[in-house]
Amino acid sequence: MIQLPLSKLSNVGTTIFSQMTQLANENEAINLSQGFPDFTPDSELLDHVDHFIKKGFNQYAPMGGMIGLKEEIARKIENSHQAIYHPDSEITVTAGGTQAIFTAIATFVKKDDEVIIFEPAYDCYEPTVELFGGIVKRFEMKAPDYEIDWSTVKNLVSDKTKMIILNNPNNPSGKILKENDIQELIKIVEGTSILILSDEVYENIVFDGKQHLSICKYPELKERSLLVASFGKLFHVTGWKIGYCAAPKSLTDEFRKVHQFNVFSVNTPIQLALAEYMKNPDHYNHLNQFFQEKRDFLRKGLANTSFELLDCEGTYFQALKYDKISDKNDFDFASELTINHKVASVPFSSFYKNKLNENVIRLCFAKKQETLERAIENLSKI
Ligand code: GLN
């Protein structure tokens, strides 16, 4: 028996999304935990994939991605945010948002570099920073408003701060950054070399006519930012694992040095299919409305229950406070809900390093009407 080397991530287990999905499956519960749609993507997109596979586009794509897709991405960013990225030298197609985030951190974070994150935080940020010897500094956003106190954030900045990671719209809270947040951020990074990694995978899912403020809208931020987005969220194909990273050439050059050894390149026929499909912006411009209807349906259905519905400005997640129902911690409550009431959710404490429990769970509403109806029925009995 060999002696196992010390774990590089001794505090990390299986992600909460896999855990809750497994619990949902074991208990035949309605799975509103892991964020993925349970409806089929547009058949037009599927037909494009079929077409390109059969036409013989089945070998390696260029390392940074197929030029046609990168051009469509550049066009989308320009139309949505009036920001220009050069398709060939500033956009890299990645194997999903998580790989783009991993590669960005791997590229820039060295031992003892400090990285600021905002909690509740998506689960991959912290372990990835630690894997490369970085130190995470966290600001805890709290229920019910999940506001950022920028003067506290400013105190987290030191001469070792290498990167700030943003997630806008925020998974799991559904909060979006406002103009004043961005202006405060600009003041904090002005005159420093701090990089920004902006995870905007839910950028096209923002409600009530509110505006998604992408990092790339602001030249002072764009020059230091790596912007990450995901086609899984945009076109209901999370299993395709494809996304991209847009960043100025100097940052992209470095990013690609790692990317080429991390994945080299991404699925060719799917890149071609996405490029074709993106030519029609209606394919993603309706998304806000599409998901707003689902959000509203879920909120209306739960309005008369004892759950408190927190604000949901974006993403396909609804946060529920349950303290009128139970004083169990959120992990135990979410497990009980899955086992006894057949609805799986994700406890918010898993998005905090210190497992902050504020009795809040997350439900994913990227689901068919019928799935949402069944979940509402079960939750209404509590
Ligand atoms: N982004 C998805 C969520 O927040 C999960 C993706 C995953 O399971 N890694 O639920």
Name, in order, each residue with C-beta under 8 angstroms of 210's C-beta and a sequence gap of 6 or more: 176, 313, 314
Regarding whether 351 and 211 lie in a shared domain, the answer is no
Same structural domain, 255 and 306: no
Q: Which of 224, 264, 229 is nearest to 248 (CA)?
A: 224
CA of 106 from ligand 1 middle (Å) equals 20
Taking CA atoms only, the protein residue closest to ligand 1 atom 1 is 35
Q: Looking at ligand 1, which residue's alpha carbon is closest to its atom 9?
A: 17
Instruction: Answer yes or no: is the C-beta of 123 below 6 A from any ligand 1 atom.
Output: no
The finding on whether 15 has its CB within 6 A of some atom of ligand 1 is: yes
Q: What is the CATH number of the domain that holds 219?
A: 3.40.640.10
Same domain, 198 and 219: yes
Residue where one domain finishes, among candidates 246, 280, 314: 280
179 is in which domain, residue-wise? 44-280
Q: Are residues 72 and 202 in the same domain?
A: yes
Q: Do 253 and 116 reside in the same domain of the chain?
A: yes
- The count of structural domains within the chain is 2
pLDDT in tens, the chain (382 residues): 889 899 999 989 999 999 999 999 999 999 999 999 999 999 999 999 999 999 999 999 999 999 999 999 999 999 999 999 999 999 999 999 999 999 999 999 999 999 999 999 999 999 999 999 999 999 999 999 999 999 999 999 999 999 999 999 999 999 999 999 999 999 999 999 999 999 999 999 999 999 999 999 999 999 999 999 999 999 999 999 999 999 999 999 999 999 999 999 999 999 999 999 999 999 999 999 999 999 999 999 999 999 999 999 999 999 999 999 999 999 999 999 999 999 999 999 999 999 999 999 999 999 999 999 999 999 999 9
Give CA separation, 114 vs 128, 150, 195, in Å: 13, 17, 11
Assess whether 73 and 207 both reside in one domain: yes
Contacts for 294-303: CB closer than 8 Å, 24+ residues apart: 294/365, 294/366, 294/367, 294/369, 294/372, 295/207, 295/365, 297/365, 297/369, 297/372, 298/363, 298/365, 298/372, 298/375, 298/376, 301/372, 301/373, 301/376, 301/379, 301/380, 302/376, 302/379, 302/380
Nearest atom within ligand 1 for CA of residue 171: 4
Q: Are residues 258 and 373 in the same domain?
A: no
**pTM score of the predicted model:** 0.97
Write down which residue in 229, 245, 280 finishes a domain.
Answer: 280
Q: Which helix (H) or strand (E) holds 270?
A: helix 268-278
Q: How many angstroms separate the alpha carbon of residue 187 from the centre of ligand 1?
A: 32
Domain end (from 280, 315, 348): 280
Is residue 335 assigned to a domain?
yes
Can you tell me the distance from the alpha carbon of 169 to that of 294, in angstroms, rounded to the nearest whole number?
17
